[in-house]
């Protein structure tokens, strides 16, 4: 018995000893922690953030982007294209491709690949994520680009794109270029399930080495790429760690070298760690409390518009905003790593954000008196204000397991209780929640938006909410509509900011939703990585420039 | 050795006295309030649930000694770990408002009271200058004295762990990220667990009884079919179907109760069916049948009371299972959510702060584990009482 | 004898097929439940950054725009031909996706099952042999307490003790990131280190179940008159234990084992979630949360078949034991 015990203890110790002797020779690599596996690496279908981040290292587009911090906007620069030349009327663009670009299977990238890419991105059968987004091109009836009108192939490495109007920007041709010869044998309706989703043949600085589902995605340097250099990082590993606490432990222990979305309460610990560097960038995502401005039932059933019985009045909505202690949530939950929001323009767009507006201060007394002047008084002594027999009580919906939204909801519930409004908080599974939110079935909810780069406000605030379902609050204002339409048509660069200023003023006045805060992005990386640029475009966007110590 | 002489009744008296000593002021106020209302000094227009909770708990508290006296013989048994815990569990369930040190939903001033470790205290200053406008004046005074309010403008929070100030709030198990008292939340969590367990056990039992009766009286075909069905259900991993339901149809309290109730009837069904088949051949049933008693009456009047005893063991075990299942669901994020005082939800949200505040998930885990151990132990002991010579 | 055997075989096979039939009914129920439930499989295509028309197109290509009866007809047709469809989420045939996750679940389940049975039986024998000994007292006092602790609490405790406090075992993952660079020996060690805690937290409740069942049944058998008769007639202890007590005590344990194995094969959801392991449990949950209809059906079907098979095997084993009993007496 005793002998057995000894073997049981000794052998593992022995093994442990040997395993510690493990070969620890440094490989030139960086491990990036991500929270969930990607579904595809095919740029046609890369919907979520991580899919985009990874596939854009494998497939490059004609142009790349850099963040210009002073302007607060992006600047495009040629990437696969060597030269770009606009015609005088800005209706056609001459593109000269670099002649040193090869697909990872050895074939040369040519202008027919570019043509093919636009062809499939806009093909309704393919159902790519860019479908129906080519409004500046000549289109067929089903939104497919009219290839013969739009493209003119001049040679193997040069082509001209003719646009339907003069509003086209370089952003309109910002799509990763696809290898035509690889897709040639596949029917277009089967693109979504083809093996190219998992075995990409790319043109970028990195190529896929292996992909273990739910574990890691390994990229290695593509020596043929014009972006590659001798001392760039050889291997990039995207390690999938769903549990936040595990990610934090691993970055501290060195199992992960770069991590985004650090929660504010870990900020101190990260700053204290000697081997890590913390970068805080202003956020472009905000949380808000949505108030249904219109009677949603009436709209859903009869498409009629009538103000909501509780939130239909802008004064009431302003009172609600004043009653919510946003500073408290920022201080106590977000450890100060956020900025109170007053409108839909992120602080990163330095030229567009209207700093003349100051957010409503937390002032429950004033909120209460506004409610009183609007007729909301506790007439029956039950602690909740009422008007015409309607009690001011409602359900505030939040999506799934989101601790921040849960915290915010709990604080709001307490805050509004103070001014005599009764709130019950209900969690909904995210898929159900968003379905209900877009379907205008929720009267009050907490959600968030990420403002796209370049900024686009129309989908969120334009009054035609049959098409623009993201305007879940049902906000309608003629002035804002007019300004949004003019911005879409294109205005002179100097006047652009003025438009955004006016939109923000109006939205601030109407308070269609209560804007809560812009959440800072906190990223942490190992000090061994040099030459890393972190800005609103993300952390890994230009990782071919990284160097290791 | 002295432990051996300790009887259950001593424990009941001990707990009772502890509450009486610690909370005599509150009890006095509530009794005063009850007298005040009885004298007709105030007209009750609307029933305030929170206040009612306090009053009922106090009345029960003063009735308890009489009840204990009546059952003194039954309570005169030696104390065991299980009976001790069960007693405590029932005290928590019945007298939660009397024992609690705070309103479990109260956000104490977050700036001062957030994430305090166990055994912390916060100095406070009571102010009377801010009036609560909406309570009528007579009640108002009592209301203030009795209730741990969910919102309190009259209290000024001074400083954590200040030794000098006389008036203090004490947090036995610390506070959570909202400045809520973890002890009170766990205390009310016992109530939540109790009601959840009872409700879904009742559902399971009713379902099992109906199906058992159908199998017992419905003939060979139904018996076979239901048996087959039960075996499938017994081996099916229910967690997934439960999650489908909760994810798709919302996770309100009653949905959780029903789903857990509907997934726990199989074991009970097997026992009830066997009992019914056994009883069917007994003389008293046969004679009742001969007398022309309809089947449903036989079922309710003759069989139901007889079945209750052997099933009790399984009901207790099922009660424990339900609590465990709910906490597991809450832990995965499919439970009833933050609106209720679910231990599983507390453990889940406490994980977020695991590095800085271990007490948030530790204490609920402890109580959950203790409750489950108690339930299983009680089940075992009941089994020994009901089926002393059983095969298990 | 032979007649009886045939009869039993017939009953077992009949049971197996009725189970399959019921599983199919369950699948059909699930099909309709999924279709009527709230939520939308193409939710991720609904975004202000995408064309509003895209979601509709994708929905049509999944066949979800057709009337319900037509969808059902297609579903049944596909089911009969063994075509489970293509996972919305993975863009791969459902069976391929399941095959990526099933091996791990099979391995984890069988390892854990072996440990449960092995340790449970070992403890039962040891404590039975030395009744009243230290181990016996310890187990009879604390086994229920350990069994009562919910899996997730147990797992968190283990992580806290071994990973945070003692820092000797990794808190999560199947293998380390350097896995590919390791030698064969290193790879085995890597798996071993990573799977210790998950297997432990998955196995402890099972160990106690088998220990308790077997031990109690052995005690019951031990007190029966025929055993006393055998003993008093001078049969040695070994024969009594192995030929009489154990076979008789084993029968109820085997059907419990069938159910337990079935549950393990269905995916150890909580363990997989806490330890970040790629098994069937998490696959199923993700399929549910993403409304990946074909994958949900596929997962249910595969786990259902595994469960039924496990129970069938348990029945066969019981049958085998019974037969030996018949022979031995």
ipTM of the complex as predicted: 0.82
B378 in the same domain as B260 = yes
Q: CA of A466: how far to CAs of A299, A460, A462, in Å? A: 10, 12, 10
Q: CA of B41: how far to CAs of A511, B55, B137, in Å? A: 48, 17, 12
Note whether residue B346 is domain-resident.
yes
The per-residue pLDDT of chain B, averaged, comes to 81
Distance (Å, whole) CA A519 – CA A280? 10
pLDDT at B198 over 50: yes
Return the half-sphere exposure (C-beta side, CA atoms, 13 A cut-off) of residue A67: 17
Residues 28-47 of chain C with CB under 8 A from chain B are: 30, 33-34, 37-39
By residue range, what is the domain housing residue B203? 188-391
Q: Which phi and psi (to 5°) does residue A76 adopt?
A: -90, 150
Return the half-sphere exposure (C-beta side, CA atoms, 13 A cut-off) of residue B307: 30
Q: What is the DSSP string of A415-442?
A: HHHHTT-EEEEEEE-HHHHHHHHHTT--
State the best of A265, A329, A330, A399 to mutate against chain B, taking most chain B CBs within 10 Å. Answer: A265
Q: Which phi and psi (to 5°) does residue B22 adopt?
A: -70, -30
| Sequence-separated (6 or more) residues with CB below 8 Å from residue B86 | B374, B378
Which chains have 3 or more CB–CB distances shorter than 8 Å to chain C? A, B
Give burial (CB, 10 Å; 0-12/13-18/19+) of C196: middle
pLDDT recorded at residue A12: 52
pLDDT confidence of B155, banded at 50, 70, 90? low
Strands A338-340 and A513-519: antiparallel
Last residue of a domain, one of B42, B75, B99: B99
Cβ atoms of B266 and B233 within 8 Å: the answer is yes
Number of residues in chain B: 392
pLDDT recorded at residue B253: 85
Q: What is the mean predicted confidence (pLDDT) over A354-361?
A: 92
Cα-Cα-Cα-Cα dihedral of C73, C75, C77, C79, to 10°? -150
Q: What is the mean predicted confidence (pLDDT) over A203-229?
A: 90
Note whether residue B172 is domain-resident.
no
State the best of A263, A401, A409, A446 to mutate against chain B, taking most chain B CBs within 10 Å. Answer: A401
Q: Containing H/E element for C240?
A: none
Q: What is the mean predicted confidence (pLDDT) over A78-102?
A: 90
pLDDT confidence of A343, banded at 50, 70, 90? very high
Q: What is the DSSP string of A443-460?
A: SEEEEEEEPPSS---HHH
A365 and chain B: CB distance < 8 Å anywhere?
no
> A60-189 adopts what CATH topology?
Dipeptide-binding Protein; domain 1 (3.90.76)
Residues 209-248 of chain A with CB under 8 A from chain C are: 210, 213-216, 237, 239, 241-243, 246
Q: pTM of whole model > 0.80?
A: yes
pLDDT recorded at residue B133: 44
Chains A, C: CB contacts within 8 A come to 107
Q: What is the mean predicted confidence (pLDDT) over A164-189?
A: 88
Looking up residue B237, the CATH number of its domain turns out to be 1.10.3720.10
Give the pair of three-digit tokens for residue A434: 């968003």
Cα-Cα-Cα-Cα dihedral of A529, A533, A537, A542, to 10°? -70
Cβ of C38 and A432 within 8 Å?
yes
Residue of chain B whose alpha carbon sits nearest to that of A327 = B111
Cβ atoms of A59 and A203 within 8 Å: the answer is yes
Widest pairwise Cα distance in chain A: 92
In chain A, CATH 3.90.76.10 covers: 60-189
pLDDT recorded at residue B46: 62
Cβ atoms of A122 and A145 within 8 Å: the answer is yes
Nearest by Cα to A436 from A290, A321, A314: A290
B20 and chain C: CB distance < 8 Å anywhere?
no
ω before A454 within 30° of 0 (cis)? yes
All residues of chain C having their beta carbon less than 8 Å from the beta carbon of residue B372 are 148-150
CATH of A285-519, picked from 3.10.105.10, 3.30.70.980, 2.40.100.10, 3.40.50.720, is: 3.10.105.10
In chain A, CATH 3.40.190.10 covers: 29-34+204-282+522-548
What pLDDT, in 10s, does the model give residues B46-101? 667 778 888 899 999 999 999 988 888 888 888 888 888 889 999 999 999 888 88
A347 and chain B: CB distance < 8 Å anywhere?
no
pLDDT at B1 over 90: no
State the best of B338, B355, B356 to mutate against chain A, taking most chain A CBs within 10 Å. Answer: B338
Q: What is the mean predicted confidence (pLDDT) over A439-453?
A: 91
Q: What is the mean predicted confidence (pLDDT) over B283-306?
A: 78
Nearest neighbour of B235 by CB, restricted to C18, C262, C269: C262
Nearest neighbour of A47 by CB, restricted to C38, C44, C101: C44
Please count the structural domains in chain B: 2
Q: What percent of chain A has pLDDT over 90?
A: 48
Q: Containing H/E element for A238?
A: strand A235-240
> Chain A: nearest CA to B377, how far in angstroms?
33
pLDDT recorded at residue B365: 92
Which stretches of A274-392 are assigned E, i.e. beta strand? 276-281, 285-291, 338-340, 386-387, 390-391
Cβ of C148 and B248 within 8 Å?
no
Cβ atoms of A414 and B103 within 8 Å: the answer is no
pLDDT confidence of B159, banded at 50, 70, 90? low
pLDDT confidence of B158, banded at 50, 70, 90? low
Distance (Å, whole) CA B157 – CA B167? 10
B354 and chain A: CB distance < 8 Å anywhere?
yes
Distance (Å, whole) CA A88 – CA C274? 61
Residue of chain A whose alpha carbon sits nearest to that of B354 = A245
A253 and chain B: CB distance < 8 Å anywhere?
no
B355 in the same domain as B216 = yes
Nearest by Cα to A355 from A347, A366, A363: A347
Q: What percent of chain B has pLDDT over 70?
A: 84
Number of residues in chain A: 549
B372 and chain C: CB distance < 8 Å anywhere?
yes
Distance (Å, whole) CA B148 – CA B98? 10
> Chain A: nearest CA to B247, how far in angstroms?
6
Last residue of a domain, one of B78, B99, B120: B99
pLDDT recorded at residue A286: 94
Give the residue ranges of DSSP H helices in chain C: 2-36, 52-61, 68-80, 94-129, 134-148, 151-158, 184-222, 225-232, 237-239, 246-265, 269-275, 280-289, 293-328
Nearest neighbour of A39 by CB, restricted to C89, C180, C185: C89
Residue with tokens 């939109």, as numbered in its chain: A503
What pLDDT, in 10s, does the model give residues A24-49? 446 788 999 998 888 889 999 888 88
All residues of chain A having their beta carbon less than 8 Å from the beta carbon of residue B45 are 381
Nearest neighbour of C278 by CB, restricted to A39, A215, A436: A215
Cβ atoms of A335 and A265 within 8 Å: the answer is yes
pLDDT recorded at residue B3: 55
Which 3 state secondary structure label does DSSP give A398? strand
The per-residue pLDDT of chain A, averaged, comes to 88
Distance (Å, whole) CA A387 – CA A312? 14
Cβ of C177 and A216 within 8 Å?
yes
Helix B49-70 crosses helix B8-22 at what angle (to 10 degrees)?
140
Last residue of a domain, one of B66, B99, B132: B99
Residue of chain B whose alpha carbon sits nearest to that of A249 = B355
Residues 391-420 of chain A with CB under 8 A from chain B are: 400-401, 403, 406-407, 410-411, 414, 417-418, 420
- More reliable by pLDDT, C327 or A327: A327
| Sequence-separated (6 or more) residues with CB below 8 Å from residue B291 | none
Note whether residue B118 is domain-resident.
no
Distance (Å, whole) CA A36 – CA A260? 13
Cβ of C61 and A189 within 8 Å?
yes
Give the pair of three-digit tokens for residue A192: 């979504």
pLDDT recorded at residue A1: 44
Q: What is the mean predicted confidence (pLDDT) over B345-354?
A: 83
Give burial (CB, 10 Å; 0-12/13-18/19+) of A76: middle
pLDDT at A11 over 50: yes
B234 in the same domain as B370 = yes
State the best of A272, A399, A406 to mutate against chain B, taking most chain B CBs within 10 Å. Answer: A406
Residue of chain C whose alpha carbon sits nearest to that of A14 = C189
A29-34+204-282+522-548 carries CATH number 3.40.50.720: no
Nearest neighbour of C51 by CB, restricted to A131, A213, A255: A131
- Cβ count within 10 A of residue B353: 17
User: How much is the CA Rg of chain A, to the nearest whole Å?
Assistant: 27
- Cβ count within 10 A of residue C144: 18
Residue with tokens 């990082």, as numbered in its chain: A233
Distance (Å, whole) CA B346 – CA C190? 34
pLDDT (tens place) for every residue of chain C, 329 residues total? 466 666 777 777 877 787 788 788 888 888 988 888 888 888 888 888 888 888 888 888 888 888 889 999 999 898 888 888 889 888 889 999 999 899 999 999 999 999 999 999 999 988 988 888 888 888 888 888 888 888 888 988 888 888 878 888 887 778 877 777 778 888 888 889 999 999 999 999 899 989 988 888 888 888 888 888 888 888 887 888 888 888 888 877 887 888 788 878 876 888 888 888 888 888 988 898 888 999 999 998 888 888 888 888 888 887 777 655 444 33
In chain A, CATH 3.10.105.10 covers: 285-519
B355 and chain A: CB distance < 8 Å anywhere?
yes
pLDDT confidence of B388, banded at 50, 70, 90? low
All residues of chain C having their beta carbon less than 8 Å from the beta carbon of residue A27 are 181
Distance (Å, whole) CA A152 – CA A135? 19
A272 and chain B: CB distance < 8 Å anywhere?
no
Residue of chain B whose alpha carbon sits nearest to that of A420 = B134
């Amino acid at each position: 018995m005793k002998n057995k015990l000894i073997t049981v203890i000794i052998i593992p110790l022995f093994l442990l000893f040997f395993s510690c002797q493990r070969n620890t020779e440094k490989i030139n690599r960086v491990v990036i922690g991500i929270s969930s596996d990607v579904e595809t690496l095919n740029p046609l279908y890369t919907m979520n953030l991580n899919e985009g981040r990874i596939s854009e290292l494998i497939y490059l587009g004609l142009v790349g982007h850099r963040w210009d911090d002073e302007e607060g906007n992006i600047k495009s620069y040629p990437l696969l294209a060597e030269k770009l030349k606009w015609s005088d009327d800005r209706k056609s663009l001459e593109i000269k491709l670099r002649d040193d670009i090869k697909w990872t299977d050895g074939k040369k990238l040519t202008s027919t690949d570019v043509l093919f890419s636009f062809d499939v991105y806009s093909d309704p059968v393919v159902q790519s994520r860019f479908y129906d987004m080519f409004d500046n091109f000549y289109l067929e009836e089903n939104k497919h680009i009219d290839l013969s009108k739009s493209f003119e192939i001049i040679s193997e490495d040069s082509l001209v794109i003719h646009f339907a109007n003069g509003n086209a920007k370089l952003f309109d041709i910002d799509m990763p270029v696809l290898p035509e010869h690889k897709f040639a044998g596949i029917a277009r309706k089967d693109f979504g399930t083809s093996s190219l989703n998992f075995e990409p043949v790319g043109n970028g600085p990195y190529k896929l080495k292996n992909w273990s589902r739910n574990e890691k995605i390994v990229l290695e340097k593509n020596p043929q790429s014009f972006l590659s250099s001798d001392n760039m990082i050889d291997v990039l590993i995207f390690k999938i760690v769903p549990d936040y606490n595990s990610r934090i432990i691993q970055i501290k222990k060195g199992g992960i070298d770069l991590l985004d979305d650090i929660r504010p309460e870990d900020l101190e610990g990260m700053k204290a760690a000697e081997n890590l560097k913390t970068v805080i960038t202003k956020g472009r995502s905000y949380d808000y409390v949505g108030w249904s401005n219109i009677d949603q039932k009436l709209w859903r059933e009869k498409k009629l518009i009538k103000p909501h019985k509780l939130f239909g009045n802008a004064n009431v909505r302003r009172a609600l905003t004043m009653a919510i202690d946003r500073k408290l949530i920022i201080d106590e939950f977000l450890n100060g790593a956020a900025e109170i929001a007053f409108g839909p323009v992120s602080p990163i767009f330095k030229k567009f954000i209207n700093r003349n507006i100051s957010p409503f201060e937390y002032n429950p007394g004033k909120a209460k008196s506004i409610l009183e002047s609007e007729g909301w008084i506790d007439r029956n002594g039950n602690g909740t204000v009422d008007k015409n027999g309607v009690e001011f009580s409602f359900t505030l919906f939040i999506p799934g397991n989101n601790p921040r939204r849960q915290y915010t909801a709990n604080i709001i519930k307490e805050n509004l209780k103070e001014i005599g409004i009764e709130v019950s908080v209900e969690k909904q599974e995210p898929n159900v929640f968003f379905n209900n939110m877009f379907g205008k079935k929720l009267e009050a909810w907490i959600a968030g938006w990420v403002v796209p780069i370049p900024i686009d406000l129309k989908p969120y605030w334009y009054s035609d909410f049959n098409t623009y379902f993201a305007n879940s609050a049902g906000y309608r204002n003629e002035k804002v509509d007019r300004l949004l339409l003019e911005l879409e048509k294109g205005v002179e660069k100097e006047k652009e900011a003025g438009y955004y200023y006016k939109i923000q003023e109006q939205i601030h006045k109407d308070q269609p939703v209560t804007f809560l805060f812009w959440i800072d992005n906190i990223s942490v990386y190992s000090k061994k990585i040099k030459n890393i640029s972190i800005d609103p475009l993300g952390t890994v966007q230009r990782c071919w420039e990284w160097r290791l110590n | 050795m002295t432990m051996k002489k300790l009887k259950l009744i001593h424990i009941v008296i001990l707990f009772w006295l502890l509450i009486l000593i610690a909370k005599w002021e509150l009890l006095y106020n509530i009794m005063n309030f009850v007298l005040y209302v009885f004298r007709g000094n105030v007209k009750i227009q609307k029933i305030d649930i929170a206040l009612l909770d306090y009053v009922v708990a106090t009345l029960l508290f003063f009735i308890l000694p009489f009840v204990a006296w009546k059952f003194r013989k039954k309570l005169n048994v030696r104390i065991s770990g299980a009976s001790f815990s069960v007693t405590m569990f029932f005290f928590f369930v019945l007298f939660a408002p009397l024992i609690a040190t705070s309103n479990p939903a109260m956000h104490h001033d977050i700036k001062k009271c957030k994430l305090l470790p166990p055994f912390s205290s916060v100095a406070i200053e009571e102010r009377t200058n801010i009036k609560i406008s909406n309570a009528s004046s007579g009640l108002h005074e009592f209301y203030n004295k009795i209730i741990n309010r969910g919102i309190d403008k009259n209290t000024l929070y001074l400083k954590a762990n200040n030794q000098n100030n006389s008036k203090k709030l004490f947090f036995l198990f610390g506070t959570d990220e909202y400045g809520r008292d973890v002890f009170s939340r766990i205390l009310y969590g016992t109530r939540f667990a109790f009601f959840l367990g009872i409700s879904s056990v009742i559902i399971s039992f009713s379902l099992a009884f109906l199906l058992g009766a159908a199998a017992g009286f419905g003939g060979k075909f139904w018996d076979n079919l239901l048996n087959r069905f039960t075996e499938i259900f017994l081996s099916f991993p229910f967690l997934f179907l439960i999650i489908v339901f909760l994810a798709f149809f919302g996770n309100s309290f009653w949905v959780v109760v029903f789903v857990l109730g509907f997934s726990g009837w199989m074991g009970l069904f097997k026992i009830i069916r066997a009992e019914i088949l056994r009883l069917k051949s007994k003389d008293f049933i046969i004679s009742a049948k001969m007398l022309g008693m309809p089947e449903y009456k036989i079922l309710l009047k003759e069989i139901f009371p007889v079945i209750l005893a052997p099933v009790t063991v399984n009901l207790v075990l099922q009660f424990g299972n339900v609590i465990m299942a709910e906490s597991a669901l809450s832990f995965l994020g499919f439970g009833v959510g933050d609106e209720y005082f679910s231990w599983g939800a507390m453990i889940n949200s406490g994980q977020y702060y695991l590095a800085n505040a271990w007490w948030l998930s530790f204490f609920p885990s402890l109580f959950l584990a203790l409750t489950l151990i108690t339930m299983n132990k009680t089940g075992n002991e009941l089994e020994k009482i009901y089926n002393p010579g059983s095969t298990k | 004898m032979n007649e009886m055997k045939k009869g039993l075989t017939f009953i077992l096979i009949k049971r197996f097929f009725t189970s399959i039939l019921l599983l199919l009914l369950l699948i059909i129920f699930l099909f309709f439940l999924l279709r009527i439930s709230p939520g939308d499989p193409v939710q991720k295509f609904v975004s202000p950054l995408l064309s509003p028309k895209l979601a509709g197109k994708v929905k049509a290509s999944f066949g979800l725009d057709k009337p319900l009866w037509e969808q059902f007809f297609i579903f049944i047709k596909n089911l009969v031909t063994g075509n489970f469809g293509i996972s919305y989420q993975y863009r791969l045939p459902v069976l391929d996706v399941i095959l990526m996750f099933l091996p791990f679940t099979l391995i984890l389940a069988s390892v854990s099952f072996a440990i449960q049975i092995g340790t449970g039986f070992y403890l039962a024998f040891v404590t039975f042999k030395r009744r009243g000994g230290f181990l016996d007292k310890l187990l009879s006092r604390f086994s229920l307490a350990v069994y009562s602790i919910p899996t997730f609490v147990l797992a968190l405790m283990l992580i806290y003790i071994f990973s945070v406090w003692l820092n000797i075992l990794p808190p999560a993952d199947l293998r380390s990131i350097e896995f590919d660079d390791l030698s064969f020996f290193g790879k085995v060690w890597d798996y071993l280190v990573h799977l210790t805690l998950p297997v432990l937290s998955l196995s402890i409740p099972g160990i106690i179940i088998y220990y308790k069942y077997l031990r109690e049944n052995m005690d019951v058998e031990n007190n029966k008159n025929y055993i006393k008769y055998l003993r008093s007639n001078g049969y040695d202890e070994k024969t009594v234990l192995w030929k009489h007590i154990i076979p008789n005590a084993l029968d109820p344990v085997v059907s419990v084992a069938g159910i337990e194995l079935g549950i393990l094969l269905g995916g150890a959801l909580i363990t997989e979630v806490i330890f970040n392991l790629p098994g069937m449990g998490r696959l199923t949950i993700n399929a549910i949360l993403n409304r990946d209809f074909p994958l949900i059906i596929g997962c249910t079907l595969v786990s259902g078949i595994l469960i039924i098979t496990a129970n069938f095997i348990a029945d066969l084993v019981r049958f085998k034991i019974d037969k030996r009993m018949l022979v031995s007496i």
